[in-house]
Amino acid sequence: AGDGDCGHTHARAAQAIQEWVRARPPPAAPAQLLSTLADLLLEKMGGSSGVLYGLFLTAAAGPLRNGGDLAAWADAMDAGVEAMQRYGGAAPGDRTMLDPLCAAVQALHALRGPNAQLLPVLAAAVQSAEAAAEATRHMEAGAGRASYISSARLLQPDPGAAAVAAVLRAVLEALQS
C-alpha cells in the first residue's frame, strides 16, 4: 500500500537505533530519551513515517519532563497522538498508523489508575494495537499514501499500522526480559 517503502523506512530506523545504542548509552531521563529518538528518526528514517514518529516522540517528551511515572507515560502517549493527528491530518478509522496507536493509547489510560501495573497494562495495549492494525485490512484509506490507491487493491492490513503494532510488541518484549 502507499508507495511501498514502509518496510524499508522501518528497517532504516531499526538499524539507526541499533547503531546509536551501540555507540553510547541511551539517556536515562525519559523526556531526553524520546527527544533524542525523535531527532534520530527524523534524520535517519525518512519518509512520512519518520516525520510522524518524530512528531509523536517530540510531543510525547513534553509530559515526561518532570518525571516518568506511569500516569505521565499515559499523558505522553496522548500528547504524541494529538500531535500526529494535528500535523498529519489523519484520524482513527483512516487506515493509518493512528489506528493501532489510538487503540493502544486507550488501553494505556489504565496507567492513570491508583494500582496500575505497567506490564499488564502494556500487554493489553499491545493486544489492542494488534487487533486495530489487523482491522485496517477492512478499512478504506482516508489519509496517507494508501488513500491514492483503489480500495479494491488494499487487501492487507495497512503496513504502517502493522509496523506500529510490531514496535509496541517489541517494547513490551524488551520490558519483559
Rounded Cα–Cα distance for residues 3 and 148 (Å): 10
User: Whole-angstrom Cα distance, residue 115 to residue 124?
Assistant: 15
pLDDT, average across residues 74-78: 96
Cα–Cα dist 26/84, whole Å: 24
| DSSP reduced 3-state for 133 | helix
C-alpha dihedral (45, 50, 51, 54), degrees to nearest 10: -100
Residue 149 pLDDT class (50, 70, 90 cuts) = low
- Alpha-carbon distance of 41 to 174, in angstroms, equals 20
Domain positions in the chain are 5-176
For the cut 60, the answer to whether the pLDDT of residue 3 exceeds it is no
CATH of domain 5-176: 1.25.40.340
Band (68; pLDDT cuts 50, 70, 90) = confident
The whole-model pTM stands at 0.88
